[in-house]
Amino acid sequence: MKILILTHRVPFPQNGGYPIVVCNTVRGLVNLGHEVSLVSLNAKKNYHHEYSEDDKELLSQIKYRAFDIDINVSVFDVSVNLFSKTSFNISKYFSHEFERLLIRELKNTTYDIIQFEGLFVSQYLAAVRKNSDAILIYRAHNIENQIWERLALQKNDPFKKSYLKMHAKRIKNYELEQLNNFDGIAVFTEQDKSTLLEYGTKIPIEILPLGINLNHYKPDFSKTEFPSLFFLGSLDWLPNREGIEWFLENFHKELTEGDLRVRFYVAGNDIPESFDDYEVMGKIFIQGEVDDALEFLNSKSIMIVPLLSGGGMRVKIVEGMAMQKCIISTSLGAEGINYENGTNILIANNQDEFYEAIKTCITDEEFCKTIGLNARRLMEEQHDVNKVTKKLVDFYKVLFVFA
């Protein structure tokens, strides 16, 4: 099949959840013998990027094009948007020039499948539908309005709460308008499927867990610091930032003066300078972006995922499990993974539960290794990229029958 993948950001380098999901999907489709084209919006802040050897290998196997777009929003734009029906978080990804480029691509090439990776590129759905007879798939990386609703619930400031609720409502209205215009939807979790059905979605929905290339995840315990506690994730995603701020505020004293005698490392993209205030020499390390995420994962032993909002599936949890990490997560953070609490992950939903889980883990290395080993087995059973991509292709074939 000829398959076109549309993304709202360049998935290179593969240093975050969205790029990893996209690239693993493309890789899986190529491995199954399909002809894949990838067209990406390239946000201004990502104009210049370097390709790893892994990126170059994948790019050599597909047709790829990136289109530069400026998604910066001024204070004036935000003010004007207050009187609009559409959230600027969505509309900033629309470009008439990109739409024209996309139409030319569709007139020059006949595709069997066109897959929209996330809500932001769904703005081009009408133009694609008009100019292509392909089956159109929407991959819901998150239920976007839920992120904003949950963020609003966490705010005490009435203005911030009201502002976030406004965006949640606008994004939900947009999602409701778009969902049934596709031919099929792929989601990561049973919870997301249930939500879309509650929204009145009538088209087929398939649950497809995150697939990863397990050959890339090779733990080396001789290079792992035990005990050590760490967080790895991009802080330009609001739920990540909110979660790690909650953790630092609640555990800063325990980690620096209390009886949680363990070093804590925070790594990832776009960490605000204000986080430097949390750093304490020899105890809390705010490292920022790391050169090699897998090397960093391997070097630390106990991963925390204190997510309080968001949806979809956490790529970093899946990667952590593949690297045999002992993971302590909220139940929301582990959503979409068929985990067994106390066997392949530890679930903690409040400060006391996090404290007890951390205390147990930092004093029992064998316990941590057992949790990690069971986590790896779960990934091998349910998250191998080739197994997951085969299910995706089977979904395509079902949709052809109903087309």
Q: Is 270 left (phi over 0), alpha (psi -120 to 50) or beta?
A: left
Q: What stretches in the chain show pLDDT beneath 70?
A: 44-49, 73-85, 310-313
- CA dist 293 and 234 (Å) reads 11
pLDDT in tens, 326-339: 999 999 899 889 99
Cα–Cα distance for residue pair 389/393, rounded to 1 Å: 6
Q: Tens of pLDDT along 359-388?
A: 999 999 999 999 999 999 999 999 999 999
**What would the CATH number be for the domain defined by 2-211+384-402?**
3.40.50.2000
At 137 the pLDDT is: 98
Which DSSP state fits 201?
Answer: -
Residue 52 confidence (pLDDT):
80
The CATH superfamily assigned to 214-382 is Glycogen Phosphorylase B; (3.40.50.2000)
Whole-number Cα distances in Å, 158 to 78, 166, 167, 334: 18, 12, 14, 30
The helix/strand/coil state of 329 is strand
57, 69, 100, 123, 131 from 96: Cα distances, Å: 32, 11, 6, 11, 15
Neighbour count for residue 31 (Cβ, 10 Å) = 14
Q: Where are the domains of the chain?
A: 2-211+384-402, 214-382
Q: What's the pLDDT score for residue 48?
A: 57
Q: What is the rounded (10 degree) CA torsion for 361, 362, 367, 371?
A: 50
pTM of the model: 0.83
Q: Tell me how many degrees the CA angle 122-50-120 measures, rounded to the nearest 5.
A: 10
Q: Measuring CA to CA, how many Å separate 225 from each of 12, 228, 252, 329, 373?
A: 29, 6, 20, 20, 17
What's the pLDDT at 239?
Answer: 83
> What is the predicted pLDDT for the residue at 235?
87
Percentage of the chain lying above the pLDDT 70 cut: 94
Bridge partners, residue 113, by sequence: 3, 135
- pLDDT at res. 329: 97
On the question of a common fold for 2-211+384-402 and 214-382, the answer reads yes
